[in-house]
Amino acid sequence: MDFDALRMIWLRDLIRHFRDRVRLLGSITRPVLWLLIMGTGLRAAFNVHGISYTHFIFPGIIAMNLIFAAMQSTISIIWDREFGFLREILVAPIPRSSIVLGKALSGSTVAFIEGLFVLAFAPFIKIHIPWVNLFLLLPLMFLIAFVCTSLGIAIAARMTSFEGFGVISNFVIMPMFFLSGAIFPVDNLPHWINFIVRLNPLTYGVDLLRWFALGIKIFALYIDFLFLAIFSFIMLGVGVFEFSKRS
């Protein structure tokens, strides 16, 4: 592993991210809309697991910010290809695996920070998370961000246009978010939809978040972690394969 390369790619993406203030704005307004409007609006209609709807979707909204930010961060790969910077990286004497891992870490960092914005809302909607769980939530959020970024990289590494990436990522993000248990419980769904839910890595991420934030869960802890680990491993593998290809 090439730590210089990792650091370069990570640092560059972070500098670029924080120079772009508009993006930060979106990452704050998105969860506010969901928690305030959807949470309040659907409170009367929903009563799941004996808790209020706003509380129920809270871990889901953390997951939403994580997956949106993570996928968005991988657009930088297409951006770099389009504006030539990718060649500067590809002719450098650094292993392709370090390029991919650097991208995965920078995307996860950005997404993690955007997830923190949501976590900060907990006291305002009267969710009281024990300190221990709060500290466990942090690495967990990073892990989920990492899984989502790996998926984004595997997609972006194959795409050549912004439009294409937009279409594909929307096609992926939306169903992943809806069918993850983020906004409705997934333990009592028809068979065909349950199949998709079980293949969705975000399902296991949301399950873990909900466990640490609210003490509710569906799967065993080891299943959650195992699925997330295997999924991101495969996606990073696809990313490294795509980056190593010389046409």
Partner 1 sequence: MNEIAVRVKNLSKHFEQVLAVDNISFEVERAEIFGFLGPNGAGKTTTINILCTLLMPTCGEAIVNGFNVITSPNEVRKSIGIIFQDPSLDERLTAYENLNFHGMIYHLPSTARKGRIEEVLNMVGLYSKRDCIVRTFSGGMKRRLEIARGLMHKPKILFLDEPTIGLDPQTRQYIWDYILNLSQREKITIFLTTHYMDEAEICQRVGIIDHGKIVALDTPRALKNKYATSSLNDVFLEITGRDIREEESDSKERLSRFLRSRRLR
Task: Spell out a b/e string for 56-83, using b for 16 or more CB atoms within 10 Å of the CB, else e.
Answer: bbbbbbbbbbbbbbbbbbbbbbbebbee
Q: Which amino acid would we find at residue 177?
A: F
Residue (65 or 106) nearer to partner 1, CB: 106
Is residue 93 within 8 Å of residue 145, measured between CB atoms?
A: no
CB of 204 to partner 1, least distance (A): 35
Residue (11 or 33) nearer to partner 1, CB: 11
The DSSP code for 39 is H
Distance CA 102, CA 215 (A): 34
CB of 157 to partner 1, least distance (A): 15
139: which 2 tokens?
């690495």
- Residue 48 backbone dihedrals phi, psi, to 5 degrees: -105, 140
CB of 53 to partner 1, least distance (A): 38
Distance (Å) of CA 130 to CA 134, 175, 182:
6, 31, 21
Binding site for partner 1 (CB under 8 A): 4-5, 7-8, 11-12, 15-16, 19, 82-85, 87-95, 161-162, 246-247
Is residue 176 within 8 Å of residue 200, measured between CB atoms?
A: yes
Residue (54 or 73) nearer to partner 1, CB: 73
Task: Look at residues 4, 218, 12, 6 and name the one whose alpha carbon lies nearest to residue 101.
Answer: 6
CB of 142 to partner 1, least distance (A): 23
CB of 1 to partner 1, least distance (A): 13
CB of 126 to partner 1, least distance (A): 41
CB of 159 to partner 1, least distance (A): 13
Is residue 129 within 8 Å of residue 50, measured between CB atoms?
A: no
Residue (76 or 232) nearer to partner 1, CB: 76
Q: Which helix (H) or strand (E) holds 158?
A: none
Distance CA 160, CA 81 (A): 8
